[in-house]
Amino acid sequence: MEKLTVAVARRPESIGRNARIEGWVRTRRDSKGGFSFLELNDGSCLGNLQVVADGSLPNYETDVLRLSSGCGVSVEGALLASSGHGQTTELKAASIRVLGMADPEQYPLQKKRHSFEKLREWAHLRPRTNTFGAVMRVRNCVANSIHRFFQDEGFLYVQTPIITASDCEGAGAMFRVTTLPLDNPPRRDGKVDHAADFFGRPTYLTVSGQLEAEIFATSLGKVYTFGPTFRAENSNTSRHLAEFWMIEPEMAFFDLNDNMDLAERFLRRLVRDTLDQCAEDMRFFEQFIEPGLLTTLEGVASSAFRRVSYTEAIGILERCGAEFEYPVRWGADLQSEHERYLTETVFGTPVVLYDYPRSIKPFYMRVNDDGRTVRAMDVLVPKVGEIIGGSQREERLDVLEGRMREQNLDARDYWWYLDLRRFGTVPHAGFGLGFERVIQFLTGMANIRDVIPFPRTPGSADF
């Protein structure tokens, strides 16, 4: 018998086919007429397949009438047109085989509604819920769309290291990687002696692949990374994870405007593909997670982002009369409340902020002629705030060395990075997009812990 997924079985073209469908029971309803309806889901789509189980099935009383939410089954039968609400097809069962029971007294998802907080404790079962199934399908769609976008634009996919020796990439606190015994590490002159460590030196989990990506951009042109990133910041917010995925394109011969154009084209493509390819899941998010989501995303996909300099943005925030928890002042970093005010209240569209004060940005961002600002850019979107951070990179050796002194960085640690400016330096630019932040934006999910399979946050890495 031909196996079909629920997604295929639900299509009108499948009417008349005989098929085997395998999945998990969501609900069972018994009718007075001596037959039962099973709602079957296999994760291939949001919708369930309705199975009609007639009382004449040989195992109707022994098996079918014992089925409950969570049971795994294999059903063979004929796909018929359905008059039921919300479905075009249904499966008239010729045989139902129970693959695995799920004791209703013990199965955690037996009860229909659980809070997202509660579901985090069951990271092994929550993908069986509508919300997490939809989140995972959108994640998959976006990952595919990211690769397609860059491949279509002629980018090369590069892999940058996860274990890194540079402890000063400037992007955040790092996790140590070591095989030294923590209870009694070898010491020399009172300090831990890393000569005996696995790599013979201190090593860390990467906070960004940018510096390494620059190596490949300045030899191969346009490249991108897409990999795990680790930050040991103790920030318990709804937008920060200790382990997240980041996409980092890096392009030779790009200035800041080229960079902004690319970021905008890229985000719009991700929105468009998700709306087109995940229509059913996106209607679910609109209905149950964030009303108005589809209108917002349609707007993002079809209209230009606003580009505003940091200095202009500070002026707007100072004049707007809104009360902020953190004061607004030229030279201070923008807080999430400021970012959201700009994109949600002032402009109502994604906003690209550029030309930030040099004092709050890393050494590698290109210094502007005014001497006070650097060619940085952040893309802000409603509900999430910063989704992309990037810049044109400083390609002038002397300026770069000056910036490193300014930030007390040792040039010897960056000898290879400086070599890229010594030998054939060219203008180049790039940015980082947080994968989970873009999934939050697309789904309307309020907490970043609910858009990644296994969230790692301070004090929590249970699965």
Sort strands 156-157 and 191-192 into parallel, antiparallel or unpaired.
unpaired
Identify which range of 120-128, 217-225, 341-349, 428-436 contacts ligand ATP by CB under 6 A. Answer: 428-436
Residue with Cβ nearer ligand ATP (231 or 338): 231
Site string for ligand ATP, 157-196 (x = CB under 6 A): --------------xx------------------------
Among 241, 180, 284, 277, residue whose Cα is nearest residue 451? 241
User: Does 260 participate in binding ligand ATP (rule CB under 6 A)?
Assistant: no
Q: To the nearest whole angstrom, how small is the minimum distance from the Cβ of residue 378 to Mn ion? A: 6
Identify which range of 38-46, 312-320, 366-374, 431-439 contacts ligand ATP by CB under 6 A. Answer: 431-439
Q: To the nearest whole angstrom, how small is the minimum distance from the Cβ of residue 411 to ligand ATP? A: 22
Cα–Cα distance measured from residue 356 to residue 374, given in angstroms and rounded to the nearest whole number: 6
Identify which range of 57-65, 240-248, 402-410, 411-419 contacts ligand ATP by CB under 6 A. Answer: 240-248
Identify which range of 42-50, 255-263, 340-348, 387-395 contacts Mn ion by CB under 5 A. Answer: 387-395
**Residue with the two structure tokens 């505003």:** 308
CA dihedral 159, 162, 165, 167 (to 10 degrees): 110
| Count of beta carbons in the 10 Å neighbourhood of residue 316 | 15
Q: Give the phi and the psi of residue 403 in degrees, each rounded to 5.
A: -65, -35
User: Does 231 participate in binding ligand ATP (rule CB under 6 A)?
Assistant: yes
Q: To the nearest whole angstrom, how small is the minimum distance from the Cβ of residue 224 to Mn ion? A: 17
251 binds, among ligand ATP, Mn ion, none (CB under 5 to 8 A by kind): none
Q: To the nearest whole angstrom, how small is the minimum distance from the Cβ of residue 435 to Mn ion? A: 15
Sort strands 373-381 and 351-357 into parallel, antiparallel or unpaired.
antiparallel
Cα–Cα distance measured from residue 260 to residue 380, given in angstroms and rounded to the nearest whole number: 12
Q: To the nearest whole angstrom, how small is the minimum distance from the Cβ of residue 261 to ligand ATP? A: 18
Residues of span 348-407 touching ligand ATP by CB under 6 A: 386-389
Q: To the nearest whole angstrom, how small is the minimum distance from the Cβ of residue 68 to ligand ATP? A: 38
Residue with Cβ nearer ligand ATP (40 or 433): 433
Q: To the nearest whole angstrom, how small is the minimum distance from the Cβ of residue 235 to ligand ATP? A: 7
Q: To the nearest whole angstrom, how small is the minimum distance from the Cβ of residue 415 to ligand ATP? A: 23
Give SS3 for 25. strand
Identify which range of 71-79, 148-156, 245-253, 388-396 contacts Mn ion by CB under 5 A. Answer: 388-396
Residue with Cβ nearer Mn ion (48 or 208): 208
User: Does 149 participate in binding ligand ATP (rule CB under 6 A)?
Assistant: no
User: Does 240 participate in binding ligand ATP (rule CB under 6 A)?
Assistant: yes
Helix then strand count (H, E) for the chain reads: 12, 18
**138, 228, 235, 418, 419 from 231: Cα distances, Å:** 24, 10, 10, 25, 27
User: Does 434 participate in binding Mn ion (rule CB under 5 A)?
Assistant: no
Q: Quick check: 379 and 267 in contact, CB under 8 A?
A: yes
Mark out the alpha helices in 290-389 (DSSP H runs): 293-302, 310-319, 336-340
Q: To the nearest whole angstrom, how small is the minimum distance from the Cβ of residue 432 to ligand ATP? A: 3
The CA R_g of the chain, rounded to the nearest whole Å, is 27
Cα–Cα distance measured from residue 76 to residue 91, given in angstroms and rounded to the nearest whole number: 8
Q: To the nearest whole angstrom, how small is the minimum distance from the Cβ of residue 434 to ligand ATP? A: 2
Among 441, 435, 434, 338, residue whose Cα is nearest residue 384? 441
With a CB cutoff of 8 Å and minimum separation 6, the contacts of 74 are: 20, 21, 22, 96, 97, 99
Residue with Cβ nearer Mn ion (108 or 170): 170
The number of residues that bind ligand ATP (CB under 6 A) is 16
User: Does 427 participate in binding Mn ion (rule CB under 5 A)?
Assistant: no
273 binds, among ligand ATP, Mn ion, none (CB under 5 to 8 A by kind): none
User: Does 286 participate in binding ligand ATP (rule CB under 6 A)?
Assistant: no
109-131 as b/e: b if 16+ CB within 10 A: beeeebeeeebbeebeebebbeb
User: Does 244 participate in binding ligand ATP (rule CB under 6 A)?
Assistant: yes
What residue number has its CB nearest to Mn ion? 389
370-393 as b/e: b if 16+ CB within 10 A: eeebbbbbbbbbbbbbbbbbbbbb
Mark out the alpha helices in 364-434 (DSSP H runs): 397-406, 415-422
Among left, alpha and beta (phi > 0; psi -120 to 50; other), residue 424 is left
Identify which range of 66-74, 239-247, 293-301, 393-401 contacts ligand ATP by CB under 6 A. Answer: 239-247
Q: To the nearest whole angstrom, how small is the minimum distance from the Cβ of residue 241 to ligand ATP? A: 4
Cα–Cα distance measured from residue 226 to residue 223, given in angstroms and rounded to the nearest whole number: 10
CA geometry: angle 255, 274, 434, nearest 5 deg: 50
What tokens were used for 391?
């810049």
297 binds, among ligand ATP, Mn ion, none (CB under 5 to 8 A by kind): none
Q: Which of 382, 385, 389, 430 binds Mn ion (CB under 5 A)?
A: 389
Interaction site with ligand ATP (CB under 6 A): 171-172, 231, 240-241, 244, 246, 386-389, 432-434, 436-437
Interaction site with Mn ion (CB under 5 A): 389
